[in-house]
């Protein structure tokens, strides 16, 4: 095997060097109830570092208060800084690297959480939350870009090695890329080059502000998985534009939407019972009846994003690529790296076994214990964990008003309309 295909070889990511090629992808932790770092959040990330990953990722840190998608998310502000410093120092003391995922939820945000009407590229009703989203103005777009910039500077000041800009899952930047959400007639709407303007401006502003002090990556959707959404061809064009700008050190390629057909992102079992369990009455029945249809059904298979992701490899000149999706074993990592990806990222397999990387290092034939049951999806209502791991079962999962997955209101919708998600355009 060449050094390039070795998951345990160190790898350069812009200005930083990872001890190996394996990254823990962002999985909402549910361990910052006041929007502040807790010991539990630090322990969560130390588990992955001690378990062998090269870099861990703090999930969804909001760049502005109205960009929150769930209660308790960390808002990148001076208030959060002391805890963030403690978190990065703890990870560094154990020899690992740490990235902060920075996001603005846009149409995935909820007024119940933020107190203000959610914004989207164009007016719409979120089919999951059933909430009205107003069109964001140009001056508000400028403030969002500044929010990403200030959040990245704060992350660098707090000791993070990298930031991951969330350009996926139909959050605000991703919804600008999607023709399903973006029907603007100004310079942020139209063809894919115009729809790519926002993500390019965010990346440029962040890079100018942080220089080479930290790595800057972005998680970007290759396709929304719904008719009329971002297509692979358009996404490749966006990636080429970002690559030519050379403001990003790497792109992590993802798929799917947090607004509709959420299972396209995950694949595998549809956890309808867990979905219903976190629902208030009288919506449980609606979830039992229509949950599968709402979330969509997509079979799981290993390396399920590779077929689309490999099409980005030949067109990248400046930007490294991170492969995600159904990577659970040594052979999957080697396959990805040999195909031209520089890093691999893992979510559920590590949630199931935080020490999986060390286990694979000791035994290259090690198989994952994750069954892709996807029941962890609904543990984000409490403290995110694998339900099959008794060591990480933290007691009953509390009901919640809203989450990253928009579940309670999704059931309301199921009860109301009983059909598959569809964006309702009002402009």
Judged by the rule CB under 6 A, the positions of this chain that interact with ligand FMN are 25-28, 59-60, 101, 166, 219, 254, 266, 324-327, 346-349, 376-377, 380, 384, 404
Site for ligand SF4 in 377-416 (CB under 6 A): 386-388
If residue 111 lies in a helix (H) or strand (E), which one and from where to where? helix 111-114
If the CB atoms of residues 127 and 325 are measured against ligand FMN, the closer one turns out to be 325
If the CB atoms of residues 387 and 411 are measured against ligand SF4, the closer one turns out to be 387
Separation between Cα atoms, residue 130 and residue 359, nearest integer Å:
44
CB of residue 391 vs ligand SF4: minimum separation in angstroms?
12
Q: Which of 48, 171, 378, 381 is catalytic?
A: 171
Separation between Cα atoms, residue 151 and residue 360, nearest integer Å:
35
Would you put residue 72 in left (φ > 0), alpha (ψ -120 to 50) or beta?
Answer: left
Choose, by CB under 6 A, the member of 162, 251, 295, 376 that binds ligand SF4: 376
Q: Which two tokens stand for residue 395?
A: 């007691």
Query: Is 171 a catalytic site residue?
Result: yes
If residue 120 lies in a helix (H) or strand (E), which one and from where to where? strand 118-120
List 217's β-bridge partners, or say none: 164, 250
CB of residue 398 vs ligand SF4: minimum separation in angstroms?
17
Determine the Cα angle at 106 with ends 141 and 386, to 5°. 140
Separation between Cα atoms, residue 301 and residue 307, nearest integer Å:
12
Residue keyed to tokens 């959420």: 262
Choose, by CB under 6 A, the member of 24, 195, 375, 413 that binds ligand SF4: 375
Helix, strand or coil, per DSSP, at residue 390:
helix
Q: Which does 411 bind (CB under 5 to 8 A by kind): ligand FMN, ligand SF4, none?
A: none
If the CB atoms of residues 123 and 366 are measured against ligand FMN, the closer one turns out to be 366
Q: Which does 388 bind (CB under 5 to 8 A by kind): ligand SF4, ligand FMN, none?
A: ligand SF4
Q: Which does 276 bind (CB under 5 to 8 A by kind): ligand FMN, ligand SF4, none?
A: none
Class of residue 153 by CB neighbours under 10 A (exposed 0-12, middle 13-18, buried 19+): middle
If the CB atoms of residues 375 and 383 are measured against ligand SF4, the closer one turns out to be 375
Q: Which does 346 bind (CB under 5 to 8 A by kind): ligand FMN, ligand SF4, none?
A: ligand FMN
Closest by CA to 348, choosing from 378, 327, 322, 362, is: 327
Separation between Cα atoms, residue 231 and residue 110, nearest integer Å:
26
Q: Which does 387 bind (CB under 5 to 8 A by kind): ligand FMN, ligand SF4, none?
A: ligand SF4
Separation between Cα atoms, residue 30 and residue 414, nearest integer Å:
26
Q: Which two tokens stand for residue 6?
A: 């070795």
CB of residue 45 vs ligand FMN: minimum separation in angstroms?
13
Q: What is the 3-state secondary structure (H, E, C) of 7-30?
A: CCCCEEECCEEECCCEEECCCCCC
Determine the Cα angle at 325 with ends 319 and 329, to 5°. 105
CB of residue 317 vs ligand FMN: minimum separation in angstroms?
25
Dihedral sign (CA 266, 13, 153, 31):
positive
CB of residue 346 vs ligand SF4: minimum separation in angstroms?
10
Backbone φ and ψ for 211, nearest 5 degrees, come out as: 55, -135
If the CB atoms of residues 306 and 386 are measured against ligand SF4, the closer one turns out to be 386
CB of residue 83 vs ligand SF4: minimum separation in angstroms?
26
If the CB atoms of residues 51 and 347 are measured against ligand FMN, the closer one turns out to be 347
Q: Which two tokens stand for residue 131?
A: 């909430």
Separation between Cα atoms, residue 275 and residue 350, nearest integer Å:
22
List 56's β-bridge partners, or say none: 98
Choose, by CB under 6 A, the member of 149, 197, 237, 352 that binds ligand SF4: 352
If the CB atoms of residues 52 and 173 are measured against ligand SF4, the closer one turns out to be 52
Binding piece for ligand SF4, criterion CB under 6 A, among 120-128, 166-174, 328-336, 347-355: 347-355
Q: Does 306 bind ligand SF4 (CB under 6 A)?
A: no
If the CB atoms of residues 26 and 100 are measured against ligand FMN, the closer one turns out to be 26
Q: Which does 375 bind (CB under 5 to 8 A by kind): ligand SF4, ligand FMN, none?
A: ligand SF4
Q: Which does 51 bind (CB under 5 to 8 A by kind): ligand SF4, ligand FMN, none?
A: none
Site for ligand SF4 in 354-373 (CB under 6 A): 370-373
Active site residues: 171
Binding site for ligand SF4 (CB under 6 A): 348, 351-352, 370-376, 386-388
């Amino acid at each position: 095997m060449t050094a390039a295909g070795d998951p345990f070889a160190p790898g350069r990511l812009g200005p930083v060097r990872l001890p190996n090629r394996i990254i823990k992808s962002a999985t909402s932790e549910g361990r910052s109830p006041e929007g502040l770092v807790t010991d539990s959040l630090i322990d969560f990330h130390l588990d992955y570092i001690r378990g062998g990953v090269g870099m861990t990722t703090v999930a969804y840190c909001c760049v502005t208060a109205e960009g929150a998608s769930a209660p308790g998310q960390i808002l990148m502000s001076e208030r959060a800084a002391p805890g963030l410093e403690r978190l990065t120092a703890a990870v560094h003391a154990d020899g690992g690297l740490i990235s902060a995922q920075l996001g603005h939820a846009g149409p995935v945000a909820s007024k119940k959480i933020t107190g203000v009407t959610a914004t989207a590229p164009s007016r719409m009703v979120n089919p999951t939350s059933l909430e009205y989203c107003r069109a964001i103005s140009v001056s508000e777009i400028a403030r969002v870009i500044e929010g990403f910039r200030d959040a990245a500077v704060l992350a660098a000041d707090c000791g993070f090695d990298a930031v991951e800009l969330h350009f996926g899952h139909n959050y605000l930047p991703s919804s600008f890329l999607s023709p399903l959400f973006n029907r603007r007639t100004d310079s942020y709407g139209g063809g894919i080059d115009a729809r790519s303007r926002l993500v390019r401006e965010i990346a440029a502003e962040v890079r100018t502000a942080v220089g080479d002090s930290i790595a800057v990556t972005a998680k970007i959707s290759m396709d929304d998985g719904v008719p009329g959404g971002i297509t692979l061809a358009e996404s490749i064009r966006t990636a080429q534009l970002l690559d030519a700008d050379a403001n990003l050190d790497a792109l992590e390629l993802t798929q799917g939407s947090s607004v509709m057909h959420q299972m396209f992102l995950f694949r595998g079992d549809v956890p309808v019972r867990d979905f219903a369990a976190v629902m208030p009455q009288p919506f449980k029945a609606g979830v039992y009846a229509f949950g599968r249809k709402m979330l969509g059904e997509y079979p799981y298979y290993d390396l399920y994003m590779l077929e689309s992701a490999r099409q980005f490899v030949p067109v990248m000149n400046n930007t490294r690529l991170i492969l995600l999706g159904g990577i659970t074993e040594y052979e999957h990592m080697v396959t990805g790296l040999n195909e031209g990806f520089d890093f691999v990222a893992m979510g559920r397999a590590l949630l199931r076994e935080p020490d999986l990387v060390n286990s694979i290092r000791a035994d290259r034939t090690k198989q994952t214990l994750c069954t892709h049951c996807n029941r962890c999806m609904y543990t984000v209502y409490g403290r995110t964990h694998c339900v099959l791991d008794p060591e990480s079962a933290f007691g009953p999962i509390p009901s919640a008003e809203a989450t990253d997955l928009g579940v309670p209101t999704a059931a309301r919708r199921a009860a109301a309309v009983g059909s598959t998600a569809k964006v309702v355009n009002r402009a």
